[in-house]
Structure 1
């Protein structure tokens, strides 16, 4: 069993303060487009693969999937308003061995509800909308794992926490290269 980095219990506690709010699972992913400009979108946190490695899911036909193939470095921002804090997670997408990737994709697919799977039955993201297009509301267990169902496994190299409760705000940073030791920063 991997020892948890010291920021993980802080993140768990902040997420728990959000209660049943869906926002506790939403984080923003920043990537770099082929023209060098930034792109940001919201994804759903799907779990931890290891102490400092998290899983997200996306449609492999999306622009973000193309961007990550060209530049795997990312930054994630996880704003937890009830806890009044923001986690900034920096890392990069991992390339997994084919067998492990298929196994993990299948595991995540099985963990989704039929309505959660529906997104991967929709037409290509960002493409022009056709007049007669089908947007299923559910994909049941008999539906095969779609090729476009992509796992984004992100290994984190640095985590910052900005706590907005007190005056002055508190800011801390942990780096994998430093053994996840805590460093206090000016807010």
Structure 2
């Protein structure tokens, strides 16, 4: 990864201050449903596709997947409590060419643990619970990647950092169209 935006080392440092806490990988994704109402969900950060493009995973049968196809603009909030900071990331879900999408989904599928893969073997999210439905705890390394295993790749257009330390708090913004130049803001 060359030419990292200046906010990336700050995010990396904040995540490192979280230690081994699983919460260091949790982001809240805000989007708009087809009926115009807001939605917020927590997803797991899966890595960087490049300096300012992040990868998340979702179940293609979920309402979220359908909403993102309808309206790809999103904002992510990454609260890192030990570091006492909040990153606000804006972008739009990218529609990848089919061969690249398949390649990248396979890469992420292989990187998951058997327990992590198991989630995609569960019944469709948000549907009524069937007491007899199977909820596997693991899917083996050789388990085929299910079609509902979807990649959500988001090239970021804007990043804000709110640091909740000191008086007053510190807030900064970087925007892609300004070559990621830092802009100080009122907190």
1:28-43 map, 5 Å? 28-43=28-43
Q: Deviations over 1:42-92 (max 9, x none)?
A: 000000000110000000000110000000000000000000000000001
Structure 2: distance between partners of 1:37 and 1:74 = 13
Q: Does structure 1 residue 89 correspond to structure 2 residue 89?
A: yes
Q: Aligned-pair distance for 1:14?
A: 0.1
Q: Deviations over 1:75-129 (max 9, x none)?
A: 0000000000000000010011110100000000000000000000000000001
Aligned to 1:141: 141
Count of paired positions: 187
Structure 2: distance between partners of 1:183 and 1:78 = 19
RMSD: 0.6
Which 5+ residue runs of structure 2 have no aligned equivalent?
none
Secondary structure, in 3 states, of the residue corresponding to 2:61?
Answer: coil
Structure 1: distance between partners of 2:131 and 2:164 = 47
Give the TM-score of the pair, scaled to structure 1: 0.99
Q: Deviations over 1:5-61 (max 9, x none)?
A: 000000000000000000100000001011101000000000000011000000000
Runs (4+) of structure 1 exceeding 4 A deviation are: none
Give the TM-score of the pair, scaled to structure 2: 0.99
Which 5+ residue runs of structure 1 have no aligned equivalent?
none
Q: Does structure 1 residue 127 correspond to structure 2 residue 127?
A: yes
Structure 1: distance between partners of 2:142 and 2:163 = 45
Secondary structure, in 3 states, of the residue corresponding to 1:78?
Answer: strand
Secondary structure, in 3 states, of the residue corresponding to 2:101?
Answer: helix
